Structure 1
């Protein structure tokens, strides 16, 4: 007869179950499982990761560098990409674009471009071109794609008024536009958690003062305030310092909503037993906020941050478009959109709106990702 140990040894141990009868795999595992079910959130996350990969290595991904220009191709339209060519011996696979012949239309005073089918510009992957420093460290001249022979005209997304490649400049602009949102939200996160945590933890007079300050900041129209603060930056300030100043301006004005969220959660948790125990143990306010209370709703904070980044990107784009934010030689999506400030230019060269399309895609992807994270932040809700 089998002993009790033999019987229990044959029974596989089962994972503990929560109140809904589901196996408990840990909080973050449950968050990930629920996030994977949010299809738009997953798609948005993939696009966001790709955008930040572009921001990391734009020199490698762009066909040409920022310094490249061809005045003869001013406002050249996008060159259609052809996948093959018949050279008299039959069709063969040969990706290429056709060079342009430019003529002047004396009736309209505009330069017109016509494809020269006898002058193909062959395109390839991992081609050699203009040299650059990858990540500012590695010297290289390898580009992901572009003309096989360096120096040939290649404007697959059109050119601007100076004959500069719009696609390459949009790729370079990803670095500034995406990182200014990331850095700005990081600073707002610190301000929001610290100030909102102090407000919710202490309450009373401190809470009233902080809430009145938040209400005052939120009552001021954001765009005029941004314009006033950005216009206060002297024209003599170097472009790199302008970048950091604009980031600080956006973060100083963007922490209020996050502080409100943190304050509400802290008001609900400040009478919990673990908070009282931390106080009795002699922990200071900063340690209680960051070590004990914040980790309990960290997933919610991540969702709020992902939804705040699009606002930072749109704010930088608006300021730079109006000419009071970032300015040349810094390249961002907002700076590039300055080329499309009048209807005549847009009608003649609609491809100048490509950076605007990049803004739309990035903001939508971040919003989808934020929605997915917000739903997954509470994995026990149905």
Structure 2
């Protein structure tokens, strides 16, 4: 039996990403190591599943929503959520009871009650309003809705707003805008960050000084007043689509600074590497040095940084729209849906108008969990 020498301390065992298969770890690619590390982060996996679900809602919004975003019933303003019944007389059958409103002649307060003597039968994959998936695929089938497409009584599973819009349908349609505005904004920020951050880290000198002073100036400005000023500069005569892209550009102009500094730091660390000097001596242009030799070395870190930036974009759009400076009706987004929440009296009497806020919280948490997992997986040896 071998005895340990005096003073000898065994080295701690390394974490085996492949769960005991050391030869496989030794030959595994960087992306495979990242995948193994990511799977061990349970919250990140949950965040990825929820995020994927949100983007599936974006793709199939017309199918998932019972009604279009423009559907309303003026007679059902602030109607409360209806209870969904699953069993009908011992048999499986989806239905809700219609709502009847009664106004107090003295206080003018409107109260709602279910008419249990009648019911509205619901079905799955029912025919309803026409829509276009992805903007060009026509369809008229909805996941859930009244079996009778001509039913006089609407169905409000999440309640109605002041105009009688179905909050559930508008939440689903609002997901399209709120979740895509983050992707589009991050795509623009990524281009600006790579170009300016890359030039700053690669060239240094006067170029680095000028770019860093611009970044410091933008980072020193208070975010909300700056958003308000830029959003207020958007002409009110612009249409919904023009205003949408204007908000995206505004958020991108502010959101690129942090990622640009990360890119600069990585470029400064890589520019003195031997393979970079060899490529420079070989006559590689600056663009080739950036995009062919340096950028691929930390692509995983950029992906992690981007995933953590998307929640900021979503919250920024929600905040601007909630303040009335972002997107405006008829565009539907989570921020637009929450505009009514500025009235305390409305929240007291109709708390269901806050339901879109739950979607914001869940989406931001899921994206943050996903970003944390990607950030940790980007360096699987740490």
TM-score by length of 1: 0.92
Cα distance per residue 1:69-91 (max 9 Å; x no partner)? 111111000001111122xxxx2
SS in 1 for 2:201: helix
Confirm whether residue 297 of structure 1 aligns to residue 321 of structure 2.
no
SS in 1 for 2:284: coil
SS in 2 for 1:23: helix
Confirm whether residue 130 of structure 1 aligns to residue 159 of structure 2.
no
Within-5 A mapping of 1:193-342: 193-342=194-343
Confirm whether residue 25 of structure 1 aligns to residue 24 of structure 2.
no
- Contact 1:230–1:325 (Cα < 8 Å) also in 2: yes
- Contact 1:337–1:356 (Cα < 8 Å) also in 2: yes
Question: RMSD in angstroms over aligned alpha carbons?
Answer: 1.7
Mapped to 1, the partners of 2:265 and 2:23 lie a distance apart of: 27
- Contact 1:18–1:24 (Cα < 8 Å) also in 2: no
Within-5 A mapping of 1:104-183: 104-150=103-149, 151=151, 152-183=153-184
How far the C-alpha of 1:303 sits from its partner, in A, is: 0.4
> Would you identify which runs of 4 or more consecutive aligned residues in structure 1 move more than 6 Å?
17-21
Gaps of 5+ in 2: 1-17
Within-5 A mapping of 1:23-102: 23-86=26-89, 91-102=90-101
Cα distance per residue 1:282-305 (max 9 Å; x no partner)? 111122111110100111100000
Mapped to 2, the partners of 1:18 and 1:129 lie a distance apart of: 55
Gaps of 5+ in 1: 1-14
How far the C-alpha of 1:312 sits from its partner, in A, is: 0.5
Mapped to 1, the partners of 2:284 and 2:329 lie a distance apart of: 49
Aligned length: 362
SS in 2 for 1:140: strand
